[in-house]
Structure 1
């Protein structure tokens, strides 16, 4: 039981990491093409105060967007927004507090945003955490599950009507979900999403990233069936040198430092795939794909299980307190 629940997820995750590093050893980071001006369009980027979220927000502001940086680090967020605005790009940035580990905070953020009367053209669900010791949120949810997946699931659904009214044929609104290669090692235990039976931080993280891909595909299926001008895609930035790895074991931290200097992507390189998914012309009206290094890639076999997609969607609605109609 311990091997299956704890050691096996750890081994799977590190095997995924080795495969990604092997790829990055021989392949350059994706280079963004010329992107269309985004003046007059509005984006929300979660986790936009640092790392890839910060770089994503910067690039979108440079393209002329009004970018709301959503995060729980107020001082960092205000400073980041000020620096972007001082650069005198065509767009503008602002920081708004959002704690994705609190369903109450997510609801407050969404309600406050909708009251402003702004459109919403791009939602980048970027915020995430990895390998946190066993911990529950104020709502009794496993930490990885809530921060990486359920908080974004709730946020997206609360803002979905606004995305639908903001998109139009020829210029769709877009949802971008930040997944990871670790989703290939993930399993979704619908009867124990909070992983209370036998906790593994590696398994919890992989599960949350697989859940994001399953969510992406189910969301796109519903959007297509409804004929809405909104697309949803999952992106994989590769292994990027950010604070995401701060919870690695001490030995892994030591080994990671020299490797990261040579093989890891920079935050700007990692952000390129989310920026591409958010605004690139050649992805107009393209949804339900998994993007790795700028290319459409097959995600895990499990992620295409439509029954699992539907069951996870229903379970997630229950966990975040939404009511399906």
Structure 2
């Protein structure tokens, strides 16, 4: 069988997808392909001007696409709550939630709630958003609409640690280590969500994806100094695959028939850096049930978002 590409996305007419961080990179490419195949796509962005420019770019390519922009800052839990409430108030169905937005390797910074920026944006914001929209996803699943939550992780989750004694890097901060923490948290969350959904008899699917090494502005917008030069001028041009291919993995997770809850989709090439979508194995640390449960409890406390118990 030919390897999977976005050309094999099934018809998405009648489905609504929410894609976080959709104004650029993997998020924009995900929104573009979902819209191309008929979905109504809610594109989220932190900045109105950048978000509007992304919507206009997509509509210039696909004049008949059904897309809309809604502002969402995953680093600010008040913004997450307001965004989710507006979705609920508007009665907008949610069939697919793609937890894509992220930041990578910035200098140490705390969010409005006092949380480390990478952990807050990459994990806590998506943890809260998923919990707040879960009821809508359950309604879609109950109507047989194949509801899915796709959480985007990274090869950088491998070797990561959850610093439960210093989650926010206030006693010691290393940009890469805290990025790996956030991506391990994504993976622990996606797997634990799958277990909890199964335990409650839900038919919502929680699946993980990572893009391998894809050339996006993530590497240039977060790192500073030499690291920004290294990625933009050396590593990305020489080693990274195009963003279109990197997005295949989360598009596969969001749309391919037969995807199972708890699966992790990543590139099939060497080191999972490049290639076509395939089921890959998460790091052993991401399969630690005790760590997953502890992270879940801490995440509920920090976000004040409670999931249904099982």
Question: Is residue 246 of structure 2 the alignment partner of residue 263 of structure 1?
Answer: no
CA contact (8 A) 2:147 2:204 kept: yes
Partner Cα distance (1:118, 1:129) in 2: 28
Go from structure 1 to structure 2 and tell me whether the alpha carbon gap of 1:75 and 1:254 turns closer, same or farther (over 3 Å shift): closer
Quick one: distance in 2 between partners of 1:104 and 1:206?
25
Q: Name the CA distance, whole Å, in 2 between partners of 1:90 and 1:278.
A: 22
In 1, the alpha carbon distance for the partners of 2:28 and 2:224 equals 26
Q: Quote the Cα distance in structure 2 between the aligned partners of 1:34 and 1:281.
A: 10
| Displacement after TM superposition at 1:119 (Å) | 1.1
Output one character per residue of 1:253-306: Cα deviation in whole Å (capped at 9) or x when no partner. 4443233223201111111111111111131xx111111111111111011111
- 1:289 matched to 2:263? The reply is yes
Within-5 A mapping of 1:82-121: 82-88=56-62, 91-121=65-95
Separation in 1, partners of 2:206, 2:306: 22
Structure 2 residue 122 is matched with structure 1 residue 139: no
Match of 1:316 in 2: 299
Q: Deviations over 1:109-136 (max 9, x none)?
A: 0000111112100000100001111110
Q: Which residue of 1 aligns with 2:288?
A: 305
For 1:137-194, what per-residue CA distance to the aligned partner results, in whole angstroms no more than 9, with x for missing partners?
0100010010111000000000001101111476420011110011002101223211
Q: How far does the alpha carbon of each residue in 1:73-129 deviate from its partner, in whole angstroms, 9 at most, with x for none?
A: 211211222332343466411110011111110000000011111210000010000
Query: Unaligned regions of 5+ residues in structure 2, if any?
Result: 268-276
Identify the range of structure 1 (212-221 vs 264-273) with the bigger mean alpha-carbon deviation.
264-273
**Conserved? CA contact 1:169–1:229, under 8 Å:** no
> What aligned pairs does 1:114-263 form with structure 2 within 5 A after superposition?
114-168=88-142, 171-246=145-220, 247-256=222-231, 257-263=233-239
**1:5-154 residue pairs with structure 2 within 5 A?**
31-32=5-6, 34-88=8-62, 91-154=65-128
From the two aligned structures, give the one with the greater helix fraction.
Answer: 1
**Comparing both chains, which one has the higher relative contact order based on Cα–Cα distances under 8 Å and sequence gaps of 6 or more?**
1
Measured on the aligned residues, the alpha-carbon RMSD in Å equals 1.8
**C-alpha distance in 1, partners of 2:292/2:31?**
30
Q: 1:195 to 1:30 in 2, by over 3 A?
A: farther
Distance in 2 (alpha carbons) for counterparts of 1:223 and 1:313: 14
Report the Cα distance in structure 1 between the residues aligned to 2:223 and 2:4, rounded to whole angstroms.
Answer: 26
CA contact (8 A) 2:249 2:266 kept: yes
SS in structure 2 at match of 1:282: coil
Look up the SS of the partner of 1:127 in the other structure.
coil
Is contact 1:61–1:89 with CA below 8 Å preserved after alignment?
Answer: no
- Give the TM-score taking structure 2 as reference length: 0.90
| SS at structure 2 position matched to 1:299 | coil
Q: Following TM superposition, by how much is the alpha carbon of 1:234 offset from its aligned partner in structure 2, in angstroms?
A: 1.2
How many residue pairs end up in the alignment?
295
Distance 1:250 1:39 in 2: 45
> Aligned residue for 2:270?
none
Contact 2:16/2:41 (<8 A) preserved: yes
Asked if the contact 2:20/2:43 (under 8 Å) is kept, the reply is yes
Match of 1:40, SS? coil
